[in-house]
Amino acid sequence: MTNPRATNDDLTAKARIRNTALDLYAKHGQDRISLRAIAAEAGVAVGLVQHHFKTKAGLRDAVDQLVVDHFANALADVPDDASTAVRDDAVRNMLRANPTVVDYVRRALLEPNVAGSHLIDVIVDLTQREVRAARKTGRASTTRKENTQVIAVLARQMGELLLAPMVDAVWERVAPRTKPPRLSVTVDEAQS
């Protein structure tokens, strides 16, 4: 799998700034980190951050795209004729290998601000393209509504990611020292 993040040794200043922003946003949240703090951590002047990204929103959009690139690259490595389960496993494996992405997505989607809406937009766009391609090639049913399939994919792939901390905390209280259950999230078609 290609790493959209690359390594600090082969990064441009722009990529280093974006990666630093991802790290800091994942750890502290977007609202708690200034462009100046990102610049200092990346070892650049704040003017360079503004030169490349213009605003904090521009930097957030670049970080969101980096996160979506992680998802897209995980899916790109899966053969076109692979099952939904194989595709979901590829995303799960990518998330396990990239805890910063997990932390960023959790914060972006669960913290009450508008910043998460851009990430939702780009993840939904990627998922819609994947679902449409799967429907077109016969890998996904065309009897279910496309919008329900998009929600189902996101619920499967993100549900565990978003709910796991709560499940782990509850399990630790109700059954400490035992193996927790595997979380599974499903979406059923609405009945007319």
> Does residue 180 belong to any structural domain of this protein?
no
**31 assigned to some structural domain:** yes
188 in any annotated domain: no
Q: How many domains does the chain have?
A: 1
- What crossing angle do the helices spanning 99-110 and 13-28 adopt, rounded to 10°? 60
Please give the chain's pLDDT, 192 residues, in tens. 566 766 555 579 999 999 999 999 999 998 899 999 999 999 999 999 999 999 999 999 999 999 999 999 999 999 988 888 899 899 989 999 999 999 999 888 887 665 557 888 899 999 999 999 999 988 888 999 999 999 999 988 888 878 888 888 899 999 989 988 888 888 888 776
pTM over 0.75: yes
Is residue 190 in some structural domain? Answer: no
pLDDT of residue 116: 56
Give one DSSP letter per residue of 77-114, joined into a string: TS-TT--HHHHHHHHHHHHHH-HHHHHHHHHHHHSSST
Evaluate whether residue 115 is within a structural domain: yes
Question: Domain holding 87: CATH number?
Answer: 1.10.357.10
Q: Does a structural domain hold residue 8?
A: no
Torsion of Cα atoms, 183 then 184 then 185 then 191, to 10°:
-140
Q: Is 6 domain-assigned?
A: no
The domain of 64 spans 13-173
pLDDT at 9: 57
- Alpha-carbon torsion 13, 14, 16, 20, what sign? positive
Q: What angle do CA 149, 146, 164 make, to 5 degrees?
A: 20
